[in-house]
Structure 1
């Protein structure tokens, strides 16, 4: 997009900012921890391909022995019913208050946001990524789009090589074998996000940008 804009006007001033959120707001939301560990995906029925892939990867992985799978899904009720039939043991939640949703993010063992190798996914950077890092989340994702520019596998996220069941299941198996590493990854995820996805981080640069217009 930047290169296309420069083709129209090579002198135009541009500032690039990733998805951001108010970390101070997130810090004040209490994490309501549940008795047993769970993995969480949040999205709409329009992403059913991703939903089914996550379910299959979870069922293929040993992580199912120690953690349940939950999804917050909104959208087409027919599709939601089909997902329930496909994975009847999975808890599906809907229409949560935002603070309750963030509390669930904070309580999760890991949070799914796998991007596909498509123009649509490569071009976008979901806002949930900054929300997940603000919640000290272990982000389970893929190596597409902007992900490699911000995240490192096993350092501040779990990054699958490809968008498929085997690659995601491999990351979940690593999580199963290395549960003692989750605290470290959660901390690094939060610190990364507070540096690059935090609203206040861009205050000075945006102010300077506006002055130069």
Structure 2
């Protein structure tokens, strides 16, 4: 079976959604499937890949004929327009059996659906975010796009892969007859074996890795860290736009323990894993809101694979996989004082922490291991 992946711009580079699509593709490869990523544009300024080739044994093609983002906005728009047209021609004439789409744009899904069904093939959608809660103040065109996606998408596809029970519930409420198959966070446990020790932090440290856009979470972590008052550091690995990164720097400098906070950004994956494996605890507190109820952070899988002690929240998808003080420490609120107590508990209880590390790794080698999902995903697609 030949499976196309659509809507995953910047492959093989990018954030969590690109990584998850890649791991789904690799899981299907292990079942004997041929996989091709079709990208109509790129957001990566530094890529030197040819527009067509193979990465990690996965075929890819950039229909814009360029794998990197051009610095000239006008040139970019021209390339992306070309990419969109050539992508549709590719779908019309290429050899494939079905497609997996990553998109929250109803008009895009509708177009894909029309062409793919015209070819009498199947189309599936990966669903990882509650679109409406991502934009609580949306109005005008954006609100119409959200309404269209949430109400109309589910009649255009042959099946959906939600990342959480909350998203599954939402889909079923819109189209009870649509085939649904949950795919949790995915990780390759072997990635931890490639961890390297570059620019080490020669003291114990707590660590958070995420987007600088999560201002509320960053504030909670800094305030929680201040409450530990111990001889330990806080490592923040943040990536994001100029404004949100500047705001993060301001938050750090405003802390009375700013000299104990280390900020890093744009780390190579192998170096990031090196920091994971040496951290006293890996932090990923959630907001107790609708958005975090529906999502399942990709970093959770990486934290588990690195045998980290995880501090997260008893919210959304988390309680379906984690039990307090068995394979993670679970928070019941977003109160920084509760986070402080959790951080001190981990630092002061080495024996319990070591047991939690091993239990977390069992998730990475079991339900989060990408290789364990290929057969069931393939059977679902064949049966839908």
The question of a shared fold, defined as TM-score above 0.5 by the shorter chain, is answered with yes
Superposition pairs for residues 85-164 of structure 1, below 5 Å?
85-87=253-255, 88-89=258-259, 90-164=261-335
**2:352 is equivalent to residue 181 of structure 1:** yes
**2:187 is equivalent to residue 45 of structure 1:** no
Distance 1:5 1:72 in 2: 34
**2:181 is equivalent to residue 10 of structure 1:** no
Give the total of aligned pairs: 210
Larger radius of gyration: 2
Q: Is the 8 A contact 1:34 1:107 kept in 2?
A: no
Q: Is the 8 A contact 2:222 2:252 kept in 1?
A: no
* Further displaced range: 132-141 or 70-79: 70-79
Q: Aligned to 2:234, which of 69, 73, 81?
A: 69
Q: Deviations over 1:29-70 (max 9, x none)?
A: 1353653211101122211111111111111125x23x2111
1:2 shift after superposition: 2.6
Residue 46 of structure 1 aligns to a residue whose secondary structure is coil
Distance 1:4 1:176 in 2: 39
The structure with the largest helix share of the pair is 1
TM-score for both structures, normalised by structure 2? 0.52
Residue 137 of structure 1 aligns to a residue whose secondary structure is coil
Structure 2 unmatched runs, 5+: 1-166
* Structure 2 residue aligned with 1:23: 189
Structure 1 unmatched runs, 5+: none
Q: Which has the higher contact order (CA 8 A, sep 6+)?
A: 1
Q: Deviations over 1:120-148 (max 9, x none)?
A: 11111110001110111111111111111
Q: Is the 8 A contact 1:39 1:69 kept in 2?
A: yes
Residue 196 of structure 1 aligns to a residue whose secondary structure is coil
Q: Is the 8 A contact 1:56 1:165 kept in 2?
A: yes
Q: Deviations over 1:58-99 (max 9, x none)?
A: 11125x23x211101222342133023123211101111121
Distance 1:6 1:86 in 2: 46
Q: Is the 8 A contact 2:220 2:335 kept in 1?
A: yes
Distance 1:80 1:130 in 2: 25
1:176 shift after superposition: 2.9
